[in-house]
Amino acid sequence: MPTGPSGSAPPGAIDGFVARRMSRLGDPPAAKAVVQVDFSDSPPPSFLPLAVITSPIGLTGLVRARPISDSRRVRAPGLGDSAISAPSALSTVRQVWLHHPRGWRATKVLSSAPRGAHFCLELSCSSDRTTAEALVGTRIGISRIEESEDVYWSDLIGRQVQTAAGEPLGEVERLETNGQHDWLVVGRHFIPLVDRHVLSLGRKKTEPIVVDWQQDWLE
């Protein structure tokens, strides 16, 4: 850089030097756009949350969702001595609702794939990473009116359980799983949720769950 008589840079030289250096660095990065996802739909009747979006995946709008335990699905007994547990609804459901603090949005699941304890979801409302980031923390669920034939863990908690002979065992406190099948936890009883032991789940919440079990049986 040229200097003046006193050894200091002449007027304007510093500004010109800085300008040349800045030009070599290129333009400053643009501010990151803030995506406002539309959550203006009316809420669905009888919402059942299935999962929570925890993070984006890649650059194309895919999201990672963590299932909610009470949203595990079961099927009706009667298919032989097999587990009554069914795959998560996230594996098959195609129309879902998003619940965010700002409101509700109906959207479609274009693809779904389990990834360990989570699901990788492609949603019709998310086409890039920025949108996927804006969805983190959003709950994904279904309308029970639209999916009325399915039975979920949350439907069984609190239900009365009785033996085939009509002897009451208590109510379902919670459900657990060992990876192969689920368990109805009824007081001190851990009743496997398999056809051999669960004879009927009942069609209404007021109907008892009927099991092939005895008071003195423990698991």
For the ranges 129-133, 152-156, 163-167, 203-207, the lowest mean pLDDT is seen at 203-207
Q: In this predicted structure, what is the pLDDT of residue 85? A: 59
CATH 2.30.30.240, the chain: domain bounds: 157-211
pLDDT at 21: 64
Amino acid (1-letter code) at residue 49 = P
- Where does the pLDDT of residue 23 fall: very low under 50, low under 70, confident under 90, or very high at 90 and above? low
pLDDT of residue 62: 97
Helices (H) and strands (E) counted in the chain, each on its own, are 3, 15
Mean pLDDT for the chain overall: 82
pLDDT at 31 over 90: no
For residue 3, CA distances in Å to 7, 20, 91 come to 5, 17, 72
Supply 45's token pair: 């009747």
Mean pLDDT of 168-177: 92
User: What span, in angstroms and rounded, lies between the C-alpha atoms of 163 and 214?
Assistant: 7
At 66, is the pLDDT very low, low, confident or very high (cuts 50, 70, 90)? very high
Q: How far, in Å, CA of 105 to CA of 125, rounded?
A: 9
Which pLDDT band, with edges at 50, 70 and 90, does 206 fall under? confident
pLDDT of 144: 76
Residue 218 pLDDT greater than 90, yes or no: no
pLDDT above 70: residue 49: yes
pLDDT at 213 over 90: yes
Which pLDDT tens digit goes with each residue over 74-131? Answer: 766 654 545 555 567 788 889 999 999 999 999 999 999 999 889 999 999 999 999 9
Q: What is the mean pLDDT of residues 4-9?
A: 56
In percent, the amount of the chain with pLDDT more than 70 equals: 73
In angstroms, the CA 67 to CA 57 distance is: 16
pLDDT at 163: 94
- CA angle 176–181–183, rounded 5-degree value: 35
pLDDT band at residue 38 using 50, 70 and 90 as cut-offs: confident
Residues of each domain in the chain carrying CATH 2.40.30.60: 47-149
Q: CATH number of 47-149: 3.40.30.10, 2.40.30.60, 1.20.140.10, 2.60.420.10?
A: 2.40.30.60
| Residue 73: Cβ-neighbour burial (10 angstroms; 0-12, 13-18, 19+) | buried
CATH: 2.30.30.240, 3.40.50.720, 2.40.50.100, 3.90.650.10. Which one for 157-211? Answer: 2.30.30.240
